[in-house]
Amino acid sequence: MKISKRLMIFYSILIVSSIGIVSYIAIYMFNEYITKAGIKEMNYNVERIKIEINNMHNRAKEYILFALNNPVIKEYFTLSESSINMYNNIKFTGKQLELKEDIDKWLLHFQTYFNIDEICLIDVTGQEHSRIILSKVESIDKLSSDEEYSSYFKQSFEINEGDVYIAYPYVSPDTNRWVFAYTSPVVLNDGSKPAFLHFEIPLEHMRNIIDVNHGRIYIVDLNGYVILDSENKVKHNNSIYIGQKPAEYFGTLATVSDSREFRELLEDTKDSVVGENVYATYHNDGELHHVVYSKLPMFDWILIYDVPHSMVIGDNINLLVMSISLAIFILTIGSIFAVYILSKSITNPIARLSEECNKLDATQLKKLDIKSNDELASITNSINNLIDKVNSIDRQKEEFSSMITHELKTPLTPIIGWSQALLNEKIMGNMNQKQIKAVNAILSNAERLRRLIGDILDAQKLDLKSMKFDYKEFNVNDMMSELYNNLLHSMKSKNITFTNNTDIQTIIKSDRNRIEQVLNNMVFNAIDFVPENGKIEMAAKDNGNDILFYVKDNGIGIPKDKQANLFKKFYQIDTSAKRKHGGSGLGLAICKGIVEGLGGKIWVESEEGKGSTFYFTIPKVRE
């Protein structure tokens, strides 16, 4: 994998994971914070509701005491008892009627002003003396014996002047609603309590108090019946009747949740202390619910404030998640871009260096020219040092080979020169046949040495790719004819039949000397390997874009498995052949180098015992 890719992946994972962790922590902390704030708000709401319920009761107490403060009421009951027929038919005296009208008016006014359901003045016998229901003066009646002996009735007389008794809610016989009833006695100057004033406030009034924005508030009695539910969802009995018991009307909290945690929580509420807020949680349908509950001072009722976690968090968390998501998105894109730039800044110089190195020409290693002042400079330096070393090695090789060839050629000069001079009658006079034979042997071996030296030099040049080609136009047929004539005398010793089957007049642009060198080499190889009276054929054919040359012999042939190695340096088929046909072992390697250098191909087709054909192609024009 590329470095840039690795960097990208590494840093992307790093950045995305760190952003993820930070976001997780942020959301977690935010959640904690919001939850705490939510619980605080719940506590505050519970406190507020408690105060408001308390205020409601206190207001009612104040109203009733205020109503009783009217002296007309005391005056009315101070009138002689005889004046009033306490039984069945009440016969008011004129004064009493007058006062009753005053009382009715006062109480009606009072009721209207304070918006009270029912207000009623009742004497010790259970006889009503004034009754106002929903802003209307109603006819007075006597309480039923049930009511007369109810604890409420008794309690109402037991409390002192200025005190108010609040009865446990019941169904009002007049309004047929569940009500709170407040009562306080009329106390005369002699301390007697001839009557009490009573009024009712419907339970429903409390619903306004327990209204909250989030979550749900219940007021539950000690038996687990829901007296009030802010959402009014707890099922209760649809019919209301006088004397109905709470258990017969109110629903239970079991309908809210039947989870074990919730039931345990309800059990705990019973043990709580009045006025103290308790925080608890439970799970319902997998969601966390926060609960703050408190025992109310009245009737041991318990106020329960229940808010699901999602409501505590509310829209805030969605907003936060959204903004964090957006931030993550922007940061991720931004950082990946930054990483891209960064990785490019690291890998670009590497890519540039590799590009520069690829451009290097192996035959002419030039120093890299990359201007930089970072790590790239030191790599460039190292490569340049290496190039220096390679160049100096190449120089040494070239110097060595030129020195060697010079040293070899120098002694060859007089050997060849003197031998040829000896054979020249004009220069040295006549020799006998034995002498001529000896000098010929010296000369032919000296020639072989000269060829070998030439081969080594060529191989060296091909190796260093320093061979220069001289491209000129020439006629292929001319070259082949001249070559044929030059080679003809070499065939005499083995009496070889040598033919040139070239019949094209194509003019090509290539290096004639080098092509001749290749053909020469192939023909001399063939001479080495054909038997006495053998055959050698050479030809050039027009092959479209290039010329196909071949040299064919009927020599010993080359085994299939040896053919592939034939064009390698210093490769000879076997040691016995080497002895018999002493070559430099460089000839075909040089041929291959030259042919390929000129843009052609070289190959051999051969069958053991039947002969070999060496082929090569040369492009007519080198692009």
Partner 1 sequence: MNILAIDDNKDITDMLETILSIEHNVTVVNNGKDGLRMIIEGNYDLVLLDLAMPEFTGYDVIKSLKEKGLLNKQKIALFTASSMTESEIDELQREGVKYCIRKPVDIDVLLTLVNALQPYK
Closest CB 369 distance from partner 1, rounded Å: 23
Report the C-alpha gap between 428 and 393 in whole angstroms.
Answer: 48
Say if residues 286 and 310 touch (Cβ distance below 8 Å). no
Q: Of 91, 359, 371, 468, which one interacts with partner 1 (CB under 8 A)?
A: 468
> Exposure of 19 by Cβ count < 10 A (0-12 exposed, 13-18 middle, 19+ buried)?
middle
Spatial separation of the C-alpha atoms in residues 592 and 381, rounded to whole Å: 37
Asked if 577 contacts 587 with a C-beta cutoff of 8 angstroms, the reply is no
Which of 239, 410, 432, 433 contacts partner 1 by CB under 8 A? 410
Report the alpha-carbon angle 534-537-541, nearest 5: 170
**3-state helix vs strand vs coil in the chain, percent to 5:** 50, 20, 30
What's the min distance (Å) between Cβ of 420 and partner 1? 4
Told to check if 420 binds partner 1 by CB under 8 A, we report: yes
Looking up tokens 């081969």 gives: 455
Give whichever of 271 and 470 is closer to partner 1, judged by the CB atom: 470
CA distance 272 to 228: 19
Choose, by CB under 8 A, the member of 91, 136, 359, 426 that binds partner 1. Answer: 426
Q: How far apart are CA 63 and CA 110, in angstroms?
A: 8
Write down the least CB distance from residue 411 to partner 1, Å.
8
Under rule CB under 8 A, residue 465 binds partner 1: no
Provide the Cα torsion 571, 576, 579, 583; round to 10°.
-20
Coil, helix or strand for 621? strand
What angle, rounded to 10 degrees, do the helices at 375-423 and 309-359 form?
20
Q: Does 354 bind partner 1 (CB under 8 A)?
A: no
Select the residue interacting with partner 1 from 457, 480, 496, 526 (CB under 8 A).
Answer: 457
Tell me how many degrees the CA angle 587-583-449 measures, rounded to the nearest 5: 100
Cβ proximity to partner 1: between 136 and 426 the closer is: 426
| Position among 18, 364, 424, 435 found at the interface with partner 1 (CB under 8 A) | 424
Per CB under 8 A, 451 contacts partner 1: no
Task: Find, among 485, 166, 135, 115, the residue nearest to 297 by Cα.
Answer: 166
Determine if 471 is a binding residue for partner 1 (CB under 8 A): no
Quote the CA–CA distance of 488 and 485 in Å, as a whole number.
5
Determine the Cα–Cα distance for residues 470 and 598; give it in Å rounded to an integer. 10
Contact flag: residue 414 with partner 1 (CB under 8 A) = yes
Does 442 contact partner 1 by CB under 8 A?
no
For the chain, the residue count is 623
What minimum distance in Å lies between the beta carbon of 456 and partner 1?
A: 11
Q: What number of chain residues touch partner 1 (CB under 8 A)?
A: 22
Q: Which of 388, 389, 391, 380 is nearest to 357 (CA)?
A: 380
* Piece of the chain touching partner 1 by CB under 8 A; list 122-130, 137-145, 423-431, 598-606: 423-431
* Sign (positive or negative) of CA dihedral 98, 103, 105, 106: positive
Residue 384 Cβ vs partner 1, minimum distance, rounded to whole Å = 23
Please say which residue, 187 or 594, places its beta carbon nearer to partner 1. Answer: 594
Q: Is 506 in the site for partner 1 (CB under 8 A)?
A: no
Least separation in angstroms between residue 418's CB and partner 1 is: 5
Question: Which of 92, 418 has the CB closer to partner 1?
Answer: 418
Minimum distance from residue 368 beta carbon to partner 1 (Å): 24
| Near partner 1 by CB under 8 A: residue from 319, 333, 427, 507 | 427
391 in contact with partner 1 (CB under 8 A): no
Contact range with partner 1 by CB under 8 A, out of 287-295, 346-354, 405-413, 540-548: 405-413
Answer yes or no whether residue 359 interacts with partner 1 by CB under 8 A: no
240 binds partner 1 per the rule CB under 8 A: no
> Is residue 441 at the binding interface for partner 1, with CB under 8 A as the rule?
no
CB of 417 to partner 1, least distance (A): 4
Considering only residues 83, 223, 382, 402, which one is a binding residue for partner 1 as defined by CB under 8 A? 402
Q: In this complex, which beta carbon is closest to partner 1, that of residue 243 or of residue 417?
A: 417
Taking the complex as a whole, the smallest distance from the CB of residue 401 to partner 1 amounts, in Å, to 8
Distance in angstroms (rounded) separating the CA atoms of residues 378 and 350: 12
Q: Is residue 19 near partner 1 by the rule CB under 8 A?
A: no
Nearer to partner 1, 427 or 436 (CB): 427
Query: Coil, strand, or helix at residue 243?
Result: coil
User: Taking the complex as a whole, how short is the minimal distance between the CB of residue 571 and partner 1, in angstroms?
Assistant: 25
Among 34, 288, 320, 416, binds partner 1 (CB under 8 A): 416
Does 409 contact partner 1 by CB under 8 A?
Answer: yes
Q: Is 318 in the site for partner 1 (CB under 8 A)?
A: no
Q: Quote the Cα angle for 163-67-70, to 5°.
A: 110
Asked if residue 581 binds partner 1 (CB under 8 A), the reply is no
Shortest distance, CB of residue 517 to partner 1, whole angstroms? 15
- Least distance (Å) between residue 377 CB and partner 1: 32
CB 253 within 8 A of CB 302: no
Closest CA to 218 of 228, 233, 232: 228
Q: From CA 384, how far away is CA 371, in angstroms rounded?
A: 13
d(CA 41, CA 312): 9
- The secondary structure of residue 494, as a DSSP letter, is G
254 scored as a contact of partner 1 (CB under 8 A): no
For residue 484, CA distances in Å to 234, 471, 511, 523 come to 123, 22, 18, 10
Binding piece for partner 1, criterion CB under 8 A, among 128-136, 259-267, 398-406, 606-614: 398-406
| Candidate segments 2-10, 26-34, 262-270, 414-422, binder of partner 1 by CB under 8 A | 414-422
Gyration radius (Cα) of the chain, Å? 63
Nearer to partner 1, 261 or 398 (CB): 398
Identify the H or E element spanning 306. Answer: strand 302-308
Q: Which residues bind partner 1 (CB under 8 A)?
A: 402, 405-406, 409-410, 412-418, 420-421, 424, 426-428, 446, 450, 457, 468
